[in-house]
Amino acid sequence: MHALVTGCAGFVGSHLTESLLEDGHDVLGIDCFNDNYARRDKFSNLARLNAFDRFDFVPLDLSAGGLEEVIDECDVVYHLAAEPGVRTSWGGRFDWFVRNNVLATQRLLETLARSPDKRLVYASSSSVYGNAERLPTSEDLLPQPYSPYGVTKLAAEHLCQLYTSNFGVQTVSLRYFTVYGPRQRPDMAFHRWCRAAVLGEQVRIFGDGEQTRDFTYVADIVAATRAAATAPGAAGRVYNVGGGSRMSVNEALAIIAELAGRALQIEYLPNEQGDVRNTGADTTRARAELGFDPQTPVAEGLAAEFAWMLEREIPQVAA
């Protein structure tokens, strides 16, 4: 298989690309290195991928179009490129979310309309549900985003459905629930908390810590994403991808404290705009149709992320 992975230098994108390469597939990676966090982290992820002979990289902004050549080279497209973040999607940066989440997806789909036999797996988000009326939440519940970020992810989902209905493009949308693990983005909660625990700094929590999330380890996300590319009958479908490990923020902090071997200095702050109270995925459909079977409990996954953080930060502390 020759795969195209957009956002290949990002958190999930680099894990997915590495998994494909390790299994002997050819991968063409695309990334525009947007400035939502330090480029050195993305270059570090990219360096791991460049070690594989079967990997080629093209620095490209999807929203600019001109994607015919890269699409022609691939059999399947994994679309993970996006402008991420609930809290940063308010205010003046919203145009970045429109460009990198909506316009970029439209440009990609428009190009794929020429080759509708190629499947596109789109990385959507649980943010499309907002404050869901039911937990666990099934795909049949009406999405009601609670942030501009969620609005743009849902808009891209709708574009996928439109191009499937009108042009026959084989799109599959996966609603990821709170992905974590090594190489997590610096703005994401577990990254910030593990780093603070390693460095002995204060941990800042928005809310009372009793809010819950369905935490999903990155390897389980990768497995579901790869399955969506080949599962028969998945084209035109939407799937929840959650780890089945719903717990409160305070429970997760207790695990990090145990890993750190000391109590955490926690500062509780008011909720921020766009933060939902609870998330929980009903993964019945993904289990039945994609063979999805998450393997990593939060304690095990957090231990892996904490070990990665130690390796990342301790040399800097020593220096």
Which positions are catalytic?
A: 149
Q: What angle do CA 122, 128, 132 make, to 5 degrees?
A: 140
Rounded-to-integer distance, Cα 43 and Cα 60, Å:
15
CA distance 138 to 283: 7
* Two structure tokens written together for 116: 């509708």
Task: Indicate the SS3 state at residue 1.
Answer: coil
From residue 157, alpha-carbon distances to 10, 94, 173, 248, 309 in Å are 20, 18, 7, 28, 33
Q: What is the DSSP string of 136-150?
A: SBPTTSPP--SSHHH
Q: Which residues contact 238 (CB under 8 A, 6 or more apart)?
A: 124, 139, 157, 172, 173, 174, 175
Question: Coil, strand or helix: which one is 257?
Answer: helix
